[in-house]
Amino acid sequence: MAGARSAQAAPSGAAADGPLLSVRGLEVHYPIRTGILQRTVGAVRAVDGVDLDVPRGTTYGLVGESGCGKSTLGRAVLRLTEPTAGSVAIGGTDLLALGGEQLRRERRRMQMVFQDPLASLDPRQTVESALLEPLAVHRAEGGPSAWRARVRGLLDRVGLPSGAGAKYPHEFSGGQRQRVGIARALVLDPDLLVADEPVSALDVSVQAQVLVLLEELQRDLGLTYLVIAHDLAVVKHVSTTVGVMYLGALVEEGTSSGLYARPLHPYTRALLSAAPVPDPVAEASRERILLSGDLPSPADPPSGCRFRTRCPWVQPTRCADERPLLRVVDGHPPTQKVACHWAEDIEAGRLQPRGSARPAAPAA
């Protein structure tokens, strides 16, 4: 498999030293229609102006609570959901400018690992048939005998027993089905894998095995990952860069080590404060940030800063009037950016939270 990947020619226009995935101003809006004539009266802003870059061979982890637009962003990157505006480039090729046969050929370079492998696999197809189908659709080199050999090698590579190809999806455990999903995503030798909650439906011990498998595949095949998850521990473990998403937009971005050590945005602080720490003393004394209210509707997001309706540090000026953009904060590396007007004052302690942050109660 590794040899097959290295033999692939780089697409024309691809910059070897640039990011493999480059997203600019990506928007996905779903129109709200009413009445007999289906008149458009608004839009659900699922993704609303996202910029991100994923260098080759690295992992970009996207986190945020349910409803923030993570999965929609991942599907829009692959054009499984059509973006409303913006640009998505894979190796310098603008995917949104392609159509028909050009887009079909480019799809070989990008694949997806879905959250629920049972729902993403056809129950009427054997595993071998499911993996042979994309090779036939894309008319891969070698013919049927070479395709079957590739499928057998892939199933062995992801840790499935010999004979797994003759079985149906319902005959496997959850972890084995996810391995089948990973093998199917790899069968066309892609450059980019978008993994949408790849381990959230699995037991903890199986989660670790699948994450180790993904790391080994990335190391051996030179893969680039966009991992979408709500589990902060998983994202920290696998990611090179982490992006925190809230209500359709990125609010903070940085390296995994830097962002977890010194979070800048109030929302990132709240997420990290809710994650358990495997140290009873630290767990009992650390600060908890409790957010009030529910996630606002993406059909009617708040003006200015979208997090202001739940932010413990909200201020009467700027927060409601001016939408903050991602920027670098003094004293932090240029790889860490935050969309908050008051990040410096919050970190320095010049602004105090309004009753939503408190020390944890002592352990009983």
Chain centroid to Cα 72, Å, comes to 10
d(CA 93, CA 75): 17
d(CA 135, CA 108): 10
Which among 131, 146, 226, 239 has a CA at the least distance from the CA of 185?
A: 131
d(CA 256, CA 82): 30
pLDDT band for 283, please (50, 70, 90 cuts). low
Mean pLDDT of all residues in 157-185: 91
Average pLDDT, the chain: 87
Mean pLDDT of all residues in 308-333: 92
Bridging pattern class, strands 192-196 and 224-228: parallel
Mean pLDDT of all residues in 330-345: 94
Residue 363: the pLDDT is 37
Mean pLDDT of all residues in 253-271: 93
Mean pLDDT of all residues in 60-77: 93
- Which of 115-119, 146-150, 352-356 is the least confident region? 352-356
Per-residue pLDDT tens over the stretch 285-304? 677 787 877 888 899 999 99
CA distances from 301 to 86, 145, 208, 317 (A): 20, 54, 37, 18
Residue 115: the pLDDT is 86
pLDDT band for 231, please (50, 70, 90 cuts). confident
Superfamily of domain 2-11+20-239: P-loop containing nucleotide triphosphate hydrolases (3.40.50.300)
Q: Decide if pLDDT at 345 tops 70.
A: yes
Mean pLDDT of all residues in 85-92: 93
Which among 244, 112, 118, 103 has a CA at the least distance from the CA of 186?
A: 112
The residues that bridge with 42 in the sheet, in sequence order, are 32
Q: Decide if pLDDT at 274 tops 50.
A: yes
Per-residue pLDDT tens over the stretch 18-55? 799 999 999 999 999 888 888 888 899 999 999 999 99
Which among 177, 215, 172, 171 has a CA at the least distance from the CA of 193?
A: 215
Mean pLDDT of all residues in 121-145: 90
**Which amino acid, residue 299?**
A
CA distances from 139 to 79, 90, 132, 146, 159 (A): 21, 22, 10, 12, 26
Q: Decide if pLDDT at 158 tops 60.
A: yes
Mean pLDDT of all residues in 157-171: 91
pLDDT band for 132, please (50, 70, 90 cuts). very high
d(CA 144, CA 67): 43
Residue 38: the pLDDT is 83
Asked if residues 95 and 267 have their Cβ atoms less than 8 Å apart, the reply is no
Q: Decide if pLDDT at 118 tops 90.
A: no
pLDDT band for 4, please (50, 70, 90 cuts). very low
List every span in the chain annotated with CATH 3.40.50.300: 2-11+20-239
